[in-house]
Each structure stands twice: as structure tokens, then as C-alpha cells.
Structure 1
Amino acid sequence: MDSLTQIVLGAAVGEAVLGKKVGNKAMLYGAIAGTIPDLDVYIGKLFDTVTALEIHRGFTHSVLFSIVFGWIFGWLISLYEKNAFTKEWSKLMFWGFITHSLLDAHTTWGTQLFWPFDVRLAFKNIFVIDPLYTLPFLVFLLLAMFQPKASKKRRKYNNLGLIISSSYMLLTIIFKGIAYSRFTQALNEQNISYSEIETKPTPLNSVLWAANIETEDSYLIGYYSFFDTKPIEFYLYPKNHHLLEKYKEEPSVKRLINLTNNWYTISKKNDAIYLNDLRFGLLSVAPNYQQFAFSFKIFENNHKIIIEEVPRDKKHAKQLLKDLWTRIRGN
């Protein structure tokens, strides 16, 4: 999830664990705990593109990290914060770390909760930024912050934030199930043969859902809004995996394909090869749009295979918001 959401979640968890004893300091250290796992993004900048992608949501998002570094950070805090025991600070940091990772596991990227095992959990029921999850959570946290640490209202506000956010998370799982049912029904009605399907919410909401559908030679992408009144349309994107023939045995390319869980297409522009990661969708929900959110240029330089992520233009974000608002309201 985005940084603000993780800070809010960490602060609320810190308050739930130790707020009654140390007041707003519990929120402060909880917020810090909610931020630390994502420092792997900065670590990744020291490495090549593929390694950076592998590092993200890896070790720092694992149960092992939460246990070991929860105790280490708890011990460090207890050296200068004497209003709680090491065990209590460690408990706060552990829950701040682990809830960060559990929340991330509900998004699309994939979280190695059980690192070092290469199992990336991705339930894909909430987008990485969802105002309906974050804003109510933030409001109740702020209300709690301005109450005395022993106040019942403080506990009530914080608990309400946790309950409402968790309830919304549960709703998104239900929404995902409904969307999945609508997509599979549409595929059957249109006599489309497919081998696999995955569904996920589109950016910033849980009303409009996207589906990736694998067929023999191509992928189909479709959208379904709970306000739709017309049949779902599916748009075809050829796999073009044969275009990668020259690089398919390259270790870095194999690792990149592994990260995509084999949900990728290949495109060619001006003699350059691009691998497009389907898991994160396109930069628009407009029909037959071609620019993917995550695309990687693969080329050879001085007999070395180079992989570079294609930068995203800010103008795409503005267009996406416009297209989203139009499509959310129904087809």
C-alpha cells in the first residue's frame, strides 16, 4: 500500500498495543514501524532493475524480519524510552511490521511473507492506493490522537478506525468474488475458451474491476463496473512470446518473467524489445489502450543484456483519472 496508508495503519496498531501506557508515542513509533519495511525500495536502487524488483516486498516484509527486527528495534527504543519495557516496545514494533506486510499481501505486487521461500502472496482485492480504506482510518486516528492517553474515547476512536478499515477490506474480498463471477459468466456466454483468469481492482477504487484472461496465443483484458448495464467487452493483446526468442535463455530475463508469474506480453518498437507486465494493467481503462503500467525494455549493450523499466509519463496519470471516472459510472 501507499506510504500514508502504512503510516496510518502502523500508528493505529501502535496505539492499540501500547497507547494506554505511553500515549502518542505509541502512535509515533507505530508509524515508524509502518514505514520501515518499505525502505527496501531504497536498497533496491543500489542494484539492477530486476534485482531491485526481487528485493521489493522480500525480506523486510517477512515474518522472520518482523520477529527478529521487532525485538532489535524494541530493544533500541527501550534504551531511551523508559516508560515501557523492552518486551512491550518489541511487541509494538512486531505488530507494526507484520500488519504492514499483511496489508501489502492484499494488493497485486506480491509479498514474500514467508521469505526465504519464494512464495509471493498477492490476493489482489485492493489497489495500492484506495481513499475509501485510508481516509476514514486517518480521521479516527486523528480524533484519538487528541484525547488523553487514559481516555475511553481514545480507545473507541482508534478501535473504530481499525474496525471500519478491516470491514472495508472484507468488502473488497466480497466485491472481488462478485466481479470474478461476472467475468466468468461473460466468458461462458461469449463462448470464449481460456486457461486462466485473474481479477483485480482498478486504481483508487473497488467499484471497477479488471480481468486478465489467458488464451492459447493471447491475453484478453476486460473491465466490469458494478454500475454496468451492458455486456462485458474483452480486448485482445497477443502474447508475442516468440519475439523474445533471442533473450529467452538469459538469466535476468528468466528472473523477470518469473516475477510476472508468466503474465506478460512482448512488443517490438523501433527494433527494441519490450516485456509488458500484465499484472498491473494498463495506464488507461479506455478500449484497446496499449501502454502498460509496467513495461521493461530489453536490449544488448557491449555484449551484455540490459533491462530497463520504461518511465511513466505524468500525463498518463491525468488521462487515467479521467478515463476511470468515465468507466466507473458504467458502460
Structure 2
Amino acid sequence: MDSLTQIILGAAVGEAVLGKKVGNKAMLYGAIAGTIPDLDVFIGKLFDTVTALEIHRGFTHSVFFAIVLGWFFGWLISLYEKDASTKEWAQLMFWGFLTHPILDAHTTWGTQLFWPLDIRLAFKNIFVIDPLYTLPFLVFLLMAMFQPKGNIKRRKYNNLGLIVSSSYMLLTIIIKGITYSKFTQALKEQKITYKEIETKPTPFNTILWSANVETEDAYLIGYYSFFDTKPIEFYSYPKNHHLLSKYSNYTSVKRLIKITKGWYTISEKNNLLYLNDLRFGLLSAAPNFQQFVFSFEITKKNNKLVINEVPRNSEKATQLLKDFWVRIQGN
């Protein structure tokens, strides 16, 4: 999830663990704990594109990290914060570290919660930024923050924030199940034979959902809004995996394909190859749109294979929001 949401969750967890004893300090250190796991983004900048992708939501988003670093930071905090024990500070940091990747596991990218095992949990039931999850949570946290330490209203408001946000998360799982059945029923009615299907919400909402559908030679992408009145349309994107054959033996290419979980297409433009990660969708909901959110340029320079992520610009992001807002309203 986005940084603000993780800060709010961390602060609320900190309050739940130690707020009664140390007041707003619990929120402060909880917010810090909710931020630290995402420092892997800055660590990734020290490495090549593929390695950075592998590092993201890996070690720092694991149970191992929460246990070991939770105790370390708990000990560190206890050196100058004497109103709670080392064990209590360690518990606060542990839960702050652990709830961060648990929340991230509900997004499309997922988390390597059981690092070093190569298992990345990704339930894909909520977008990385969802105002309906974050804003009510923030309101209850602020209400709790301005209550005196030990006041029963403080714990009540904080618990309400945790309950409301968790209930919404549960609702997104139910919604995902409903939309999954809508997509599979549409495929059945249209007599489309497929190997696999994955579904996910589109940006900032849980009303409009998209589906990636694998067929023999292509991937189909379709959208379903709860306001739709017409059948779901699926648009075909050829796999073109054969275009990558000359680079298929390179370790970095194999690693990148592994990151995509096999959900990728290859496109060619100006004699350059691009690997498009389908898991994060397109930069528009317009029919047959060709630009993907995550695309990687593959080239050879000085007999060395180079992989770079294609940058996204703010104009495209603005257009994406406009397109999805129109599509949310129904087909």
C-alpha cells in the first residue's frame, strides 16, 4: 500500500499495543515502524532494474525481519524512552513491521512474507492506493490522537479505525469473488477457452475490476464495473514470446520473467524489444490500448544485455484517471 496508509496502520497498531501506557509516543513509533519496510525501494536504487524488483517487498517485508529487527529497534528505543520496557517497545515494533507486509499482501505486487522462501503472497483484492480504506482510518486515528492518554475514548476511536479498515478489506475479498464469477461466466457465454485467469481492482476503487485471461497464443484483458449494463468485452494481446528467443538464455531475462509470474507479452518498436508486465494492467481502460503500466526495454549495449524500466509521466497518469472514471460509470 502507499506510504500514508502504512503510516496510519503503523500508528494505529502502535496505539493498540502501547498507547495506554505511553500515549502519542506509541503512534509515533508505530508510524515509524510502518515506514521502515519500504526503505527497500532506496536499497534497490543501488542495483540494476531486475535486482531492484526482486528486492522490493522481499526481506524487509518478512516475518524474519519483523522478529529480528523488531527486537533490535525495541532495544534501541528503550535506551532513551524509559516509560516502557525493552520488551514492550520490541512488541510495538514487531507488530508495526509485521502488519505492513500483511497489508501489502492484499495488493497485486504482494510480499515475500516467508522470506527466504521464494513465496510471494499477492491476493490482489485492493489497489495500492484506496481512499475508502485510508480516509476513514485516518479520521479515527486523528480522533484518538487528541484524546488524553488512558482515556477510554482514545482506545475506542483507535479500535473503530482498525475495525472499519479491516471490515472494508474483508469486503474487497467478497467483491473480488463476485467479479471473478462475472468474468468466468462471460468467458463461458462467449465460448472462450482459456488456461488461467486473474482479477484485480483498477486504480483507487473497488467498483471497476479488470481480468487477465491466458489463452494459447494471447492474453485477453477485460473490464467489469458494477454499473455495467452490457456484456463484458475482452481485448486480445498477442504473447509474442518468440520475439524474445534470442535473449531467452540470459539469466536476467529469466529472472524478469519469473518476477512477472509468466504474465507478460513482448512488443517490438523501432527495433527494440519490450517486455510488458500484464499484472499491473494498462495505462488506460480504452479498447485495445497498448501501453502497459510496467514495461521493460531490453537491449544489448557493448555485448551486454541491459534491461531498463520504461518511465511513466504525469500526463499519462492524468489520462489514466480520466479513462477509468468514465469506464467506472458503466459500458
Q: Which amino acid aligns with 1:120?
A: R
TM-score by length of 2: 1.00
Q: For residue 25 of structure 1, what is the aligned residue in structure 2?
A: 25
Unaligned runs of 5+ in 1: none
Q: Whole-Å Cα distance in 2 between the matches of residues 308 and 245 of structure 1? A: 19
Query: Do structure 1's residue 141 and structure 2's residue 141 form an aligned pair?
Result: yes
Q: Number of aligned pairs?
A: 331
| Aligned-residue RMSD, C-alpha | 0.4
SS at 2:246's partner residue?
Answer: coil
Q: Whole-Å Cα distance in 2 between the matches of residues 298 and 275 of structure 1? A: 7
Q: Whole-Å Cα distance in 2 between the matches of residues 8 and 313 of structure 1? A: 28
Q: Which amino acid aligns with 2:85?
A: F
Q: For residue 257 of structure 2, what is the aligned residue in structure 1?
A: 257
Q: For residue 3 of structure 1, what is the aligned residue in structure 2?
A: 3
Q: For residue 310 of structure 2, what is the aligned residue in structure 1?
A: 310
SS at 1:246's partner residue?
Answer: helix
Q: Which amino acid aligns with 1:298?
A: I
Q: For residue 196 of structure 1, what is the aligned residue in structure 2?
A: 196
SS at 1:245's partner residue?
Answer: helix
Q: Whole-Å Cα distance in 1 between the matches of residues 286 and 93 of structure 2? A: 43
Q: For residue 106 of structure 1, what is the aligned residue in structure 2?
A: 106
CA-CA distance at 1:313 after TM superposition: 1.5
Q: Whole-Å Cα distance in 2 between the matches of residues 51 and 110 of structure 1? A: 16
Q: Whole-Å Cα distance in 1 between the matches of residues 58 and 235 of structure 2? A: 33
Q: Which amino acid aligns with 1:125?
A: N
Q: Whole-Å Cα distance in 2 between the matches of residues 71 and 150 of structure 1? A: 25
Q: Whole-Å Cα distance in 1 between the matches of residues 155 and 55 of structure 2? A: 37
Q: Whole-Å Cα distance in 2 between the matches of residues 36 and 330 of structure 1? A: 40
Q: For residue 45 of structure 2, what is the aligned residue in structure 1?
A: 45
SS at 1:84's partner residue?
Answer: coil
Q: For residue 220 of structure 1, what is the aligned residue in structure 2?
A: 220
Query: Do structure 1's residue 161 and structure 2's residue 161 form an aligned pair?
Result: yes
Q: For residue 152 of structure 1, what is the aligned residue in structure 2?
A: 152
Q: For residue 174 of structure 1, what is the aligned residue in structure 2?
A: 174
Q: Which amino acid aligns with 1:196?
A: E
CA-CA distance at 1:324 after TM superposition: 1.0
Unaligned runs of 5+ in 2: none
Query: Do structure 1's residue 245 and structure 2's residue 245 form an aligned pair?
Result: yes
Q: Which amino acid aligns with 1:191?
A: K
CA-CA distance at 1:286 after TM superposition: 1.1
CA-CA distance at 1:110 after TM superposition: 2.3
TM-score by length of 1: 1.00
Q: Which amino acid aligns with 2:30?
A: G
How many percent identity over aligned positions?
80
Q: Which amino acid aligns with 1:219?
A: Y
Q: For residue 183 of structure 1, what is the aligned residue in structure 2?
A: 183
SS at 1:27's partner residue?
Answer: helix
